[in-house]
Amino acid sequence: MNLIIDVGNSFVKLAIFKGDKLKSKEVIETKHILEGIKMLKNKYPSIKKAIISSVGILKKTDINTIGKSFDLLILDSETKLPFKNLYKTPKTLGVDRIALVSASVEKFPDTNVLVIDAGSCITYDFVTSKNEYLGGAISPGLQMRYKALNTFTANLPLLESENPDNIIGKSTKESIHSGVVFGILNEIEGVIQKYKLKYPDLTVILTGGDTKFLSKQLKSSIFANSNFLLEGLNFILQINTNE
């Protein structure tokens, strides 16, 4: 069994895979990572291997402690990957994006795939049917847009995300919801259509924390999978340990 450790800025996702099957998933605060891993180790004593993907800050002492319990792989730009990386600055490519592209080539081989990760930022990552990763785009995510309107203006309130009933906002709150939500939806739809002009057979994956909120409102045909990044990390661990 494999332990997948996806470290964010405030929270950590811990997942257990048996082969390709997700058996368990926990989300905990980063400061409780060692306690969470110990609990899973006791519950699943057959865990032998682990991978860490960290876009947040994880203490070296924590990494060393984890490494004493498992055959540990730390994902970085030097890790063996299941695709050809043609990004011009490969060392700056986020480990989360690496994992998403890895999942796409496993789940959709020989396919032109656009992976859209709707999280803190919205990332777009494209891999060709020839297994070549070309790059993509990064833009502000849903919550970031709400926070930006509040932070960089004097009078606009900070709102929780909400589906607008109408594109015409009849109050300040309605206008903010319309601007943020329809802005993101139109952005995503526009990006998909741009890619489809060049790659008509495009497969589109939507993942990330805002998948559920956005997926029902998109008109384009997509595959929604909130566990896509975890599946990609498990695949990377498999190909690096010959499992």
- Which DSSP symbol is given to 156? P
Query: In a 3-state reduction of DSSP, which class is residue 196?
Result: helix
Q: Exactly one of 20, 71, 76, 96 is catalytic; which is it?
A: 96
Q: How far apart are CA 54 and CA 62, in angstroms?
A: 12
Question: Does residue 201 carry a catalytic annotation?
Answer: no
Residue bearing tokens 């956005």: 214
Six-digit token string for 28: 């905990």
Residues of the binding site for substrate = 87, 94-97, 172
Nearest CA-CA partner of 232 in 123, 154, 147 = 123
Residues of the binding site = 6-13, 87, 94-97, 117, 120, 172
Nearest CA-CA partner of 35 in 4, 55, 12 = 12
Residues of the binding site for K(+) = 117
Residue bearing tokens 């002492």: 61
Residues of the binding site for ATP = 6-13, 120
Residues with catalytic annotation?
Answer: 96
